[in-house]
């Protein structure tokens, strides 16, 4: 699991680095720059995809409630790579956010379910016998669709000041939901392989549905991931998506196996408090980073305005050829 998290973060870093290089001005020409960044982006995607089979092995050998907290290694690795490789500066909000992320996820893991039961593939679709799980699936699907709608609005809104906050909240939330459900179906695939493919003969329809669901959710998560890395810095996206994914995995397992009814009241309160801390931290850090980016943009506009005022008297003494040369520069 730790190797998977390390490889996953390396892949995300390469993809983000390619996006940064593609947006930066280059001296080598646009075609060469586009080719190099495209190759780096695909290398990052391949590294990320290669890490996923390790995740399948980990989910097959251990419960989700043990796998989820080990993903905190990715936050620590990302803190190093975001600052040293990508040159992203950690703000006070980011540092406080990481501390709250770790604290909230620790509460979710410590006070959440500590084991999981064996389940059959048909249990994933037996909503009539698990109405609380059916409600959870409906709420999660509605939340995911709401995030998609907000992201479409952000694409159309353009320069709206709320776009940064919407993307910083919706991308990690959407990725966390999709990945958490994908993990459960991936675990089901691991069970099929671990049982010697006996389920293929007993439950062929369920196996086919699980495989199709894994493919659809995997493609969807990669699509969300590539879009998120285009708009968000790793210091913002990686910690938020990990914590939300771990939270949804714990909630999913607790509701699916009906372990809330067996948990003491204190555990239930602390578990829900940890979930609330995780979600609130994502929103607060996103708002703080959006406000910081607006201040930076304002400073750039002010500097550009002062520079234009400084150059204005000089332009009156230049002829047409010299002005054309300045415009070309």
The 8-class DSSP code of residue 85 comes to: T
Residue 170 has pLDDT above 80, yes or no: yes
* Residue scoring higher pLDDT (311 or 124): 124
Residues 41-47: what's their mean pLDDT? 79
pLDDT at residue 200 in the model: 64
Poorest-confidence range of 117-121, 154-158, 325-329? 325-329
Residues 204-232: what's their mean pLDDT? 82
pLDDT at residue 227 in the model: 82
**pTM score over 0.85:** no
Residue among 139, 120, 261, 272 nearest 203 (CA):
120
pLDDT at residue 72 in the model: 60
Helix (H, G, I), strand (E, B) or coil at 259: coil
pLDDT at residue 305 in the model: 47
- Residues with Cβ < 8 Å from 155, sequence gap 6 or more? none
Answer yes or no: are the C-beta atoms of 254 and 113 closer than 8 Å: yes
Residues 41-49: what's their mean pLDDT? 79
Residues 77-100: what's their mean pLDDT? 70
pLDDT at residue 145 in the model: 92
Across the chain, which distance is largest between two alpha carbons, in Å?
A: 87
Integer angstrom CA distances of residue 139 from 19, 104, 132, 135, 145? 33, 22, 11, 6, 10
Residue 135 has pLDDT above 80, yes or no: yes
DSSP string, 168-235: HHHHHHHHHHHHHHHHHHHHHHHHHHHTTTHHHHH-HHHHHHHHHHHHHHHHHHHHHHHHHHHHS-HH
Extract the tokens encoding 308.
């234009």
* Residue scoring higher pLDDT (159 or 298): 159
How far apart, in whole angstroms, are the C-alpha atoms of residue 187 and residue 183?
6
Residue 110 has pLDDT above 50, yes or no: yes
Residue 218 has pLDDT above 70, yes or no: yes
Residue 31 has pLDDT above 50, yes or no: yes
* Structural domain span for residue 210: 57-299
Extract the tokens encoding 53.
């089979």
pLDDT at residue 299 in the model: 44
Answer yes or no: are the C-beta atoms of 203 and 170 closer than 8 Å: no
Give domain status of residue 309, yes or no: no
Q: Give the residue carrying structure tokens 């064996």.
A: 118
Question: Average model confidence (pLDDT) for the chain?
Answer: 71
Provide the number of structural domains found in the chain.
Answer: 1
pLDDT at residue 60 in the model: 62
The 8-class DSSP code of residue 159 comes to: S
Give domain status of residue 35, yes or no: no
* Residue scoring higher pLDDT (66 or 246): 246
* Residue scoring higher pLDDT (265 or 116): 265
Q: Give the residue carrying structure tokens 């080598």.
A: 28
Residue 142 has pLDDT above 80, yes or no: yes
Residue among 158, 183, 163, 165 nearest 251 (CA):
183
Answer yes or no: are the C-beta atoms of 201 and 159 closer than 8 Å: no
Residue among 56, 50, 6 nearest 238 (CA):
6
Cα radius of gyration (the chain): 23
Residue among 240, 265, 1, 205 nearest 98 (CA):
240
Extract the tokens encoding 194.
């671990």
Give domain status of residue 78, yes or no: yes
Give domain status of residue 278, yes or no: yes
How far apart, in whole angstroms, are the C-alpha atoms of residue 49 and residue 8?
8
Answer yes or no: are the C-beta atoms of 38 and 18 closer than 8 Å: yes
* Residue scoring higher pLDDT (120 or 11): 11
* Residue scoring higher pLDDT (138 or 184): 138
Integer angstrom CA distances of residue 248 from 29, 80, 109, 253, 259? 45, 26, 11, 8, 15
* 316: exposed, middle or buried (Cβ count in 10 Å: 0-12, 13-18, 19+): exposed
Residue 176 has pLDDT above 80, yes or no: yes
Extract the tokens encoding 222.
């990669």
Give domain status of residue 230, yes or no: yes
Residue 114 has pLDDT above 50, yes or no: yes
Poorest-confidence range of 67-71, 109-113, 126-130? 67-71
| pLDDT tens for each residue of 219-270 | 888 888 878 877 877 677 777 777 777 778 777 777 776 666 667 788 778 8
Poorest-confidence range of 29-43, 127-141, 218-232? 29-43
pLDDT at residue 66 in the model: 57
How far apart, in whole angstroms, are the C-alpha atoms of residue 11 and residue 81?
11
pLDDT at residue 297 in the model: 43
pLDDT at residue 63 in the model: 60
Q: Give the residue carrying structure tokens 């290089």.
A: 21
């Amino acid at each position: 699991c730790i190797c998977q998290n390390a490889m996953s973060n390396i892949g995300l870093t390469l993809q983000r680095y390619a996006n940064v290089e593609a947006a930066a001005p280059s001296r080598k020409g646009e075609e060469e720059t586009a080719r190099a960044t495209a190759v780096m982006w695909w290398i990052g995607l391949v590294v990320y995809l290669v890490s996923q089979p390790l995740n399948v092995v980990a989910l097959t050998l251990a419960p989700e409630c043990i796998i989820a907290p080990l993903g905190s290694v990715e936050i620590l690795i990302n803190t190093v790579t975001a600052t040293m490789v990508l040159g992203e500066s950690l703000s006070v909000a980011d540092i406080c956010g990481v501390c709250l992320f770790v604290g909230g996820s620790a509460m979710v893991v410590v006070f959440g379910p500590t084991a999981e039961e064996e389940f059959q593939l048909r249990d994933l679709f037996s909503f009539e016998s698990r109405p609380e799980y059916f409600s959870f699936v409906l709420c999660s699907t509605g939340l995911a669709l709401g995030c998609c709608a907000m992201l479409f609005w952000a694409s159309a809104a353009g320069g709206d000041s709320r776009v940064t906050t919407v993307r910083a909240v919706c991308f990690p939330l959407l990725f966390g939901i999709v990945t958490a459900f994908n993990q459960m179906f991936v675990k089901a695939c691991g069970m099929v392989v671990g049982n010697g493919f006996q389920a293929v003969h007993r439950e062929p329809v369920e196996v086919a549905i699980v495989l199709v669901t894994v493919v659809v959710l995997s493609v969807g998560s990669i699509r969300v991931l590539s879009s998120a890395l285009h708009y968000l810095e790793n210091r913002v996206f990686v910690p938020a998506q990990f914590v939300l994914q771990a939270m949804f995995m714990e909630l999913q397992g607790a509701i699916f196996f009906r372990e809330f009814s067996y948990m003491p009241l204190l555990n239930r309160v602390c578990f829900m408090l940890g979930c609330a801390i995780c979600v609130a931290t994502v929103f607060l850090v996103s708002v703080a980073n959006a406000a910081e980016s607006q201040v930076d943009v304002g400073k750039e506009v002010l500097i550009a305005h002062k520079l234009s005022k400084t150059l204005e008297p000089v332009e009156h003494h230049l002829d047409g050829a010299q002005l054309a040369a300045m415009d070309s520069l």
